[in-house]
A and B are shown apart, each in its own frame.
Chain A
Amino acid sequence: MYIVYNLFENFYYKFITMPLVIRIAVITTVFFIVLLLFYALLSVFNYYSKKRADKREEERKNNSDCYTVLKELLTYEEVIPFITLEQDFETIKARCHSDPEDIVYEMLVIKNEFPTQFNYENLQSLSRLFNLTPYWDGKLTDNSLKVKMENLQNIIELRATISESVLSTLVYHKNSELRKKARIAQIHLSQHDPFKFFDEEFDKDFTVWDKIKIHDILLHRPIQTIPNFIRWVPKVKNENLQSMFIYEIGYYNQVENKEFLYDFFKMTPSDEVKIQIVETLNVLGIEDMAHNLIRQYNACSENVQLAIINNLKHIQTDKFLLPFYVHAFEKAYETDLKLALGDAIYSSEVNGHRVIEVLERNAKGFDQLIFEHIKNPLLLN
């Protein structure tokens, strides 16, 4: 002990007399040597953890009985009454893993292998039988952010039931990813207020990716529980969220909102929202809105004009549209707009081909190429 102390003391006195540069170099070198030793230890640790995980995985695979019985129940076409499952529970339990984590793992494997045949009602019953709710609740209150995220994702994927009180602790979490995931889960899981966060702009960090995930989760809800989205359109400020609501109005064919959407088209300054309104109106039936949109045409930006033309061109019965297209074509100077207008004229069943021929005869230079372009079947979208 005394020798070690002496060595350390000698080194310390030698070290403090060294020039600053040398001291920095020594400290840095020692730091990196320690780091390398740490990496070595980490590698050893990882090696053994992987070995342990592989062993567990192998054990799980060896017990294919659990997979077989769960697969049979979860891919069964009809809903098995809970009472029937309860009667057979001892048999099912005897064939299954004892750890809920392993059962959830098998359920996810089956869901990914048979996404279309997967019976979510039977999964609900099995979850009740295996008493998985306390397991999920425990995972969602775990200290690790990673565990919370992973399990929330699994809950969403399996459409599992959890306590709303547990979920409510996550919907205001400081981590934006977890918070948003919890809010999306709320849409799916909440019994009394699934759309609470639509009133709160969903989230301050709302992005296109959230829009994609919300649309996906809405698809999982029974159609009769889908609300009328128009109530949030004027309320929210985020353009992405606004355009998502407008898209959903079209997707769920909420035709009664057409007039309001057109009024909102006139009010909103956002091109993104205007374009989405035009597309939704096309889904809901744009015929009776065509003249209104034409009135707004000149006051719109190029992208909105493009959206109007591309969505109006599907109307074949309105004979007043063709003169509008021709007039707009003559006034347009942007190539993309000219191509869209030319295409609208060409696809018009009311003399469209004949008008194109006349215009083509009078066209010069690049305009002539535009007509060749729109007539080219290989360039159709």
Chain B
Amino acid sequence: MDTILYSYQYLIFFYAFSLVVIYTSLAVLAFYKLTQLVAKKSSDTEKIFRESPFIPGISIIAPAFNEETSIINNVISMMTVNYPTFEVVIVNDGSKDNTLQLLIDNFEMVETTYAYVEKIKTKPFKRIFKSTNPEYSRLIVVDKENGGTKADASNAGVNVAKYPYFICTDVDCVLDREALSKMILPIISTKTRVIAVGATMRMVNSCKVENGVMVETRLPTRIFPLYQEIEYLRSYLIGKLGFSTINAVHNVSGGLGLFDKEIAIGAGGYDPLSHAEDMDMTTRMIAYMINYQKEYKIDQVPETCCWTEGPPSFRVLNRQRTRWARGLFQIFSVHRKYLFNRKFRKLGLISFPYIFIYEFLAPIIEMLGYIVTIYLLLVGGINWDTAFLMLFFAYVFGVSLSLTTLLYERLLEHRFKNREYVRLILFCLVEPFIYHPLIVFFNIRGYIDYLTKRDFEWGTMTRQGSQDNKSDKQKGLSTQTIAQ
């Protein structure tokens, strides 16, 4: 028993140390990319975008299911993006509330004939709506039977999209006005074909939004969205940005991602059965390019392009994280053939092994660590000096990583006031004791749910709304089901 425990402790230390090495490398790579981007920035980009005939068109696809509280403002938000050629495709996924009627009334829409081609299989398509008002000529509404998932609705949007690139987002997201310009830039400024581009997302909670347009970004006042803000920034500004420098991004977020339509359709679109449809499609797009021996790139834009609502309560956080965990488990069940497979190059040898060892196994290893610690406490087998050193080692590393993220954010965008940064730092200091154990617990729950095939329906999320949405909420419509 002692030998097992001894070996286990060594194993865990080297696991943790390798994680430190990986994240430090990612932080260095991300910093390199940030400096490159800062050097590239020029003040006349916006003007060139507005006037150039070579800018490709983009379709913004947003599935909507029972979104009556926010649909109008959010469609307005999408319609006001600053980009020369785009369309907005709203997919009403069989909403049971007034979502469709609100769209019809507010945007003067009428049912119209349309030669709908099912390039990707979806639940039955019903009809198409277009506006009679030329002001809304960019808007198209697809009405279809409920498919139960965001993936199915997104696929219907892809079938209707007319431009070579599409952005998939959630209808409750607030897009930055320059989001499309920022996200298309990696595609047009690289020789290699860029098949997908991700961008930084943040929490809309507490932000000031007017008529669907972000007016003032503020730090969330509630604890869970605030921690999710830190988590998102860490993931986008260090993880994904670092991986993008070596072209090993494994996931373009479902909340906001720009995709090459031809490749997305070629790879089969979103999988309606997947619980992590974003990562699933990104994986299949990469595999598609490798199978056809085509060079590809997946890029990450560090600038904030979208704001989404963070889970306002423990219950909602639980639902969100268990679903993400189920999705991760499912990815490794469905795509296990890519893991450590040399044929799939960086996907098989870098991205998938990384996610498997450091994201999928991490909660299991951590939970096991808690159990072993309790056992050692009971048998008095803890060397306290070493234990404190190891705890301090892990703590200092975690805090350094979070503070590095905040430093990068400040260098790049500086979205908050000084006192908000101080608050963020304070929350970072206590994150390992409050938020992190919860996430581990939810992940384990998600894995158990997946193995026992329980609770597989799409979750409901209680929306608090940004400043803009609060007036809608006061009308008594605060709960909506989302499929994100």
Residues of A within 8 A of B (CB): 21-22, 24-26, 28-29, 32-33, 35-36, 39, 42, 46, 108, 112, 115, 145-146, 149, 153, 156-157, 177, 205-213, 215-216, 244, 247, 335, 339, 366, 369-370, 372-373, 376, 378-379
Contact = CB atoms under 8 A, between A and B. Distances in A.
B114 A379 contact: yes
A22 B386 contact: yes
Contacts of A28: 17, 20, 393, 397
B115 A339 contact: yes
Contacts of A39: 403-404, 407
A369 B396 contact: no
Contact of B188 (A153, A207, A247, A372): A207
Interface of B: 10, 13, 17, 20, 36, 38-40, 42-44, 47-48, 51-55, 110, 112-117, 130-132, 185, 187-191, 386, 389-390, 392-393, 396-397, 399-400, 403-404, 407, 410
17 contacts: A22-B386, A24-B13, A25-B13, A29-B393, A32-B400, A36-B400, A145-B39, A153-B42, A207-B191, A212-B48, A212-B55, A215-B53, A216-B44, A244-B54, A372-B113, A376-B114, A379-B130
- Closest 4 A/B residue pairs (Cβ): A209-B189, A372-B113, A208-B188, A373-B115
Contacts of B190: 207
B52 A216 contact: yes
Contact of A212 (B188, B392, B399): B188
Contacts of A115: 47
B393 A208 contact: no
Given A25-B389, A36-B399, 11 more contacts: A21-B13, A28-B20, A35-B400, A177-B40, A212-B48, A212-B188, A216-B44, A335-B117, A369-B115, A378-B110, A378-B112
A29 B392 contact: yes
B141 to A, nearest CB: 12
B39 A206 contact: no
A370 B132 CA distance: 21
B107 to A, nearest CB: 12
Contacts of B397: 28-29, 32
Contact of B54 (A29, A145, A208, A335): A208
A210 B188 CA distance: 9
Contacts of A24: 13, 17
B115 A146 contact: no
Contacts of B392: 29
A173 B38 CA distance: 19
Nearest to B187: A208
A205 B189 CA distance: 9
A212 B386 CA distance: 60
A35 B47 CA distance: 41
A378 B132 contact: yes
B191 A112 contact: no
Contacts of A149: 39-40
Contacts of A211: 54
Contacts of A209: 185, 188-189
A108 B43 CA distance: 10
A149 B188 CA distance: 20
Nearest to A374: B115
A339 B117 CA distance: 11
A146 B41 CA distance: 10
A109 to B, nearest CB: 11
A373 B13 contact: no
A335 B36 CA distance: 43
Given A369-B115, A378-B130, A157 B44 contact: yes
A209 B54 CA distance: 9
B44 to A, nearest CB: 6
Contact of A36 (B53, B131, B188, B403): B403
Contact of B43 (A25, A26, A112, A206): A112
B235 to A, nearest CB: 20
A370 to B, nearest CB: 5
Nearest to B112: A378
Nearest to A372: B113
Contacts of B117: 335
Contacts of A366: 115
Contacts of B400: 32, 35-36
B35 to A, nearest CB: 8
Nearest to A208: B188
A211 B10 CA distance: 56
A215 B113 CA distance: 39
Contacts of A244: 54
A215 B386 CA distance: 65
A177 B389 contact: no
Contacts of A156: 44
A29 B112 CA distance: 65
B93 to A, nearest CB: 22
B47 A206 contact: no
A335 B48 CA distance: 34
A208 B192 CA distance: 11
Contact of B48 (A36, A46, A207, A213): A213
A205 B393 contact: no
Contacts of B47: 115
B54 A212 contact: yes
